[in-house]
């Protein structure tokens, strides 16, 4: 037992075999789990990142497409003048053509083989027009016009394109714009309007692989990095697409995030749109300078801003200059840094030579060209700001402000650049002369407005000083108008039938009792009383006392009603002084009044806009003739005659210097203490009003005849005037009248005048001179008749013939004879007045 126990004790029992020790199991299991968890988390992160990236890309994609396919820019409205119409017999002379071509910046060229060029040989012009789109259905294409001028008229005109109407239009002048609140200005051009050399220059300089890459150029980025690290000039690796993304969607921050966004969006943009679409957008978006507080965007506008020409008329070197400016418009501004600008231009030309888009010969020629940048930018700043202001006011009554600023509207206005330049010169010249007179006139200001009386189209406006401040005196200066309203008083008197042009009016002192118990005693400007004077004299010499007495006869309420008939909307104060013009009205208000006189009594509202066209060429507004009868034609005919007397022998006699054959009509106006000087008048084709005064309303010591009339005459003499020739209405007869009584008269009477009279209100009395002459003539006629009958009777006796008067008359015949004689006597009584009127 002991032995066996010992053996058993010394025997080594085998250890049971386990899969793993408990210790290794504990350590191996967590390691595997951590690996799985980490892998899972990483996968989740990657998936989440991809989802987020996808969502971010979707967001970027939507951002790109929303703006690119929607409204890309706020495009300003552009305002143009009326076009110049060329047709056989048109009143166009060489000076007019010279001025219009200069305003359009046409260049003299013997070959005239490009748009915007012309050649003149003697009186014959060859003009290669640019064309113009007036609407989708009214497009003038480019054409060559051959025109011959003889004297002041077009003798013949031909064109390379047919003109069914016989009228060829030379395009209107751009007079300004209405700009977006973003202060971005641009002129959108399509790709086919951009010269190919400009595109070649852009590709060669900014992105030579534009047509190969998909938005991002790896080669360009690598080249820029290597160059920057090697210490060379700092370069960017951005493609044209990336530059567009930066300008169109992003900003110029130099951050990794912005660069990443730029690259992603560039790729997305290229996935959606063609290279041509991207290039066209870039050409219109690129920033190329600053005009005051407005940015110059796009090559279309930059061409006008720096060269005053459309893109297709630029030389190769000028196109290269604009491309060079894309790198830094302020650094390479050709007006401020001409040397740097030329050097950059030459780099662009050299790039074109390097890639083969420019021959050595063309390169050598282009690199020798001067910059030829215009000294002052024409685009953006209106040369006719007063007129543009009135256009804006008229537009604001119809359109929302945002539509005017952002929708790219085209407005064809009624401005006549020739008339406007004449107005500017007249005001500058004559006010300059008047300001040198004395201390009262040192701060003299003026306003001038002029329109076509038949159409109501405003053709010229001067309402501010050398710099437009927003205060336009043509519409904003409400001043007393003085004697400009006197024709309304005399018109009322003539319309009533109580007065005719030769009637007597009393210019003796008058006292008017006012409602507050005070008395008003108006005086004449010469401080003299003239007693009874003819109506035309009272008006032509502008006698105050006669005007007040006549106005009070018909009443102030009637005076106010007449002004409303003439289109005056301002409230007329119910005071007698209103008869002498103590009414605050603007030059534009008075233009409307005298427009009625100038057209035979028809009122056509004064307007400054012909048509408004949207960016698709659709006509949104076309101003038609809204003409209404305001004054009976007979009344207006007589009033016009009276206003012509003001010019022929009254206070506006200075206007006769323009030509007595023009039959001009008008009226001077002067207010109390000589604070305001006015003249309103018209020819057959222009009605114009001038105001001269001081903004502080202090006396200027000038009357209408010495202050305003010289400006009016200077303006009108620069225009081609037609005579005043109103058609004579049916209800008008011309009679000899006694001046200062209005009675019927005879041409042999000393004080007789041959004047128009309304048929409905012929005078019923004759002057003593006329009656005496009439009786003498009747007696002489009777005597001649008796002598003639006596000679006949003697002849009949000599020939043995019976004398009719000696024959026996029976009773029946006697009764018939008596009845016949009675009827003849009655007829004579009925027709005596008519016969007398004919005689008188």
User: Which residues carry out catalysis?
Assistant: 206, 483
List phi, psi (to 5°) of 735: -135, 160
Residue 278 near residue 290 (C-beta atoms within 8 A): no
Q: 322 with 309: CB under 8 angstroms?
A: no
Alpha carbon distance 434, 375 (integer Å): 32
Residue 731: which of 757, 753, 754 has the closest Cα? 757
Are 441 and 686 contacting, i.e. CB atoms less than 8 angstroms apart?
Answer: no
Report the candidate in 535, 74, 61 with the shortest Cα–Cα distance to residue 285: 74
Token pair listed for 756: 């128009």
Rounded Cα distance, 594 and 667, in Å: 9
SS3 state of residue 802: coil
Pairwise CA distance, residues 31 & 35, whole Å? 6
CA distance 81 to 339: 37
Q: Where are the beta strands (DSSP E) in 316-422?
A: 410-413
Question: How does DSSP assign 79-102, residue by residue?
Answer: EE-PPEEE-TT----HHHHHHHHH
CA distance 248 to 240: 12
* Distance between CA atoms of residues 81 and 786, nearest Å: 75
Q: For residue 439, give Cα distances in angstroms to 414, 432, 434, 547, 678.
A: 38, 13, 10, 33, 20
Location of structure tokens 């003499």: 717
Residue of 515, 706, 667 lying closest to 580 (CA atoms): 667
d(Cα 322, Cα 306) in Å, to the nearest integer?
9
Name all contacts of 594-597 with Cβ < 8 Å and 24+ positions apart.
594/666, 594/680, 594/681, 594/682, 594/687, 594/689, 595/451, 595/453, 595/456, 595/682, 595/687, 596/566, 596/567, 596/630, 596/631, 596/636, 597/487, 597/636, 597/639, 597/640, 597/643, 597/665, 597/682
Taking each helix axis as running N to C, give the angle between helix 587-598 and helix 633-649, from 0 to 180 degrees, rounded to the nearest 10.
110
What tokens does 437 get?
């007179």
Task: Quickly count: other Cβ atoms within 10 Å of residue 754's Cβ.
Answer: 10
Which residues does 180 contact at the CB level (< 8 Å), separation at least 6? 74, 75, 76, 405, 406
Q: How many CB atoms lie within 10 A of CB 119?
A: 14
Bridge-based pairing of strands 628-629 and 602-603 is antiparallel
- End-to-end CA gap in the chain: 188
Q: How far apart are CA 605 and CA 789, in angstroms?
A: 66
- Alpha carbon 589 to its chain centroid, in Å, reads 17
8 Å CB contact between 132 and 117: no
Can you give the length of the chain in residues? 840
Strand partners, 611: 412, 622
Residue 764, token pair as written in the block: 């019923």
State the DSSP code for 447: E
CA–CA distances in Å: residue 526 to residues 399, 505, 534? 51, 18, 18
């Amino acid at each position: 037992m002991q032995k066996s126990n010992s053996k058993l004790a010394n025997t080594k029992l085998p250890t049971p075999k386990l899969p793993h020790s408990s210790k290794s199991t504990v350590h191996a299991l967590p390691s595997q789990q951590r690996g799985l968890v980490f892998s899972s988390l990483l996968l989740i992160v990657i998936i989440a990142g991809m989802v987020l990236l996808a969502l971010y890309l979707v967001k970027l994609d939507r951002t790109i497409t929303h703006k690119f396919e929607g409204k890309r820019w706020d495009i300003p409205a552009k305002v143009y003048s009326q076009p110049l119409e060329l047709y056989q017999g048109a009143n166009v002379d060489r000076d007019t053509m010279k001025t219009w071509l200069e305003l359009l910046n046409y260049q003299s060229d013997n070959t005239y083989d490009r748009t915007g060029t012309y050649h003149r040989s003697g009186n014959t012009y060859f003009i290669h027009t640019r064309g113009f789109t007036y609407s989708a259905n009214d497009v003038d294409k480019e054409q060559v016009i051959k025109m011959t001028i003889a004297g002041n008229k077009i003798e013949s005109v031909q064109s390379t394109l047919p003109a069914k109407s016989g009228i060829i239009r030379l395009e209107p002048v751009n007079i300004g714009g209405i700009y977006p609140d973003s202060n971005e200005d641009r002129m959108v051009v399509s790709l086919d309007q951009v010269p190919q050399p400009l595109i070649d220059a852009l590709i060669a300089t900014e992105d030579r692989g534009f047509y190969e890459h998909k938005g991002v150029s790896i080669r360009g980025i690598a080249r820029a990095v290597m160059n920057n690290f090697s210490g060379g000039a700092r370069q960017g690796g951005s493609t044209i697409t990336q530059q567009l993304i930066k300008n169109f969607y992003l900003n110029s921050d130099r951050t990794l995030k912005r660069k990443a966004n730029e690259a992603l969006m560039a790729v997305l943009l290229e996935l959606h749109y063609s290279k041509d679409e991207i290039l066209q957008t870039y050409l219109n978006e690129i920033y190329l300078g600053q005009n005051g507080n407005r940015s110059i965007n796009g090559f279309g506008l930059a061409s006008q801003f720096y060269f005053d020409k459309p893109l297709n008329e630029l030389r190769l070197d000028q196109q290269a200059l604009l491309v060079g400016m894309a790198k830094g418009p302020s650094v390479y501004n050709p007006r401020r840094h001409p040397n740097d600008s030329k050097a950059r231009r030459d780099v662009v030309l050299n790039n074109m030579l390097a890639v083969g888009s420019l021959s050595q010969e063309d390169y050598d020629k282009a690199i020798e060209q001067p910059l030829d940048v215009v000294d002052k930018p024409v685009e953006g700043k209106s040369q006719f700001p007063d007129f543009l202001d009135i256009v804006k006011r008229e537009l604001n009554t119809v359109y929302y402000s945002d539509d005017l600023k952002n929708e790219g509207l085209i407005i064809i206005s009624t401005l006549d650049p020739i008339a406007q330049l004449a107005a500017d010169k007249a005001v500058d010249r004559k006010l300059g002369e008047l300001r040198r007179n004395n201390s009262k006139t040192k701060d003299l200001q003026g306003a001038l407005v002029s329109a076509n009386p038949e159409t109501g189209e405003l053709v010229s406006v001067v309402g501010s000083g050398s710099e437009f401040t927003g205060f336009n005196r043509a519409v904003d200066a409400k001043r007393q108008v003085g004697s400009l309203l006197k024709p309304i008083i005399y018109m009322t008197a003539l319309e009533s039938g109580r007065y005719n042009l030769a009637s007597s009016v009393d210019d003796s002192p008058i006292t008017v009792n006012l409602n507050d118990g005070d008395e008003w005693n108006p005086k004449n400007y010469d401080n003299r009383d003239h007693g009874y004077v003819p109506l035309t004299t009272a008006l032509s010499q502008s006698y105050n006392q006669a005007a007040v007495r006549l106005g009070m006869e018909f009443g102030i309420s009637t005076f106010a009603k007449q002004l409303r008939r003439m289109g005056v909307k301002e409230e007329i104060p119910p005071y007698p002084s209103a008869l002498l013009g103590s009414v605050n009205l603007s030059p534009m208000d008075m233009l409307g009044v005298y427009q009625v006189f100038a057209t035979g009594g028809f009122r056509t509202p004064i307007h400054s806009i012909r048509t408004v066209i949207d960016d698709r060429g659709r006509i949104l507004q076309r101003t038609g003739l809204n003409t209404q009868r305001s004054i009976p034609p007979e009344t207006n005919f007589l009033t016009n005659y009276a206003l012509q007397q003001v010019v022929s022998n009254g206070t506006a006699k200075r206007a006769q210097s323009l030509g007595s054959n023009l039959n001009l009509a008008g009226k001077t106006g002067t207010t109390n203490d000589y604070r305001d000087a006015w003249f309103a008048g018209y020819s057959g084709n222009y009605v114009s009003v001038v105001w001269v005064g001081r903004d502080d309303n202090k006396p200027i010591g000038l009357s209408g005849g010495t202050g305003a009339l010289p400006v009016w005459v200077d303006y009108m003499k620069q225009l081609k005037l037609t005579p005043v020739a109103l058609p004579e209405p049916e209800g008008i007869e011309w009679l000899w009248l006694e001046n200062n009584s209005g009675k019927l008269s005879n041409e042999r009477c000393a004080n007789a005048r041959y004047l128009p009279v309304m048929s409905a209100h012929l005078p019923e009395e004759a002057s003593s001179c006329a009656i005496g002459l009439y009786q003498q003539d009747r007696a002489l006629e009777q005597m001649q008749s008796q002598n003639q009958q006596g000679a006949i009777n003697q002849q009949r006796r000599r020939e043995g013939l019976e004398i009719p008067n000696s024959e026996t008359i029976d009773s029946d015949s006697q009764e018939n004879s008596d009845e016949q004689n009675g009827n003849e006597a009655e007829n004579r009584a009925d027709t005596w007045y008519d016969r007398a009127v004919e005689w008188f």
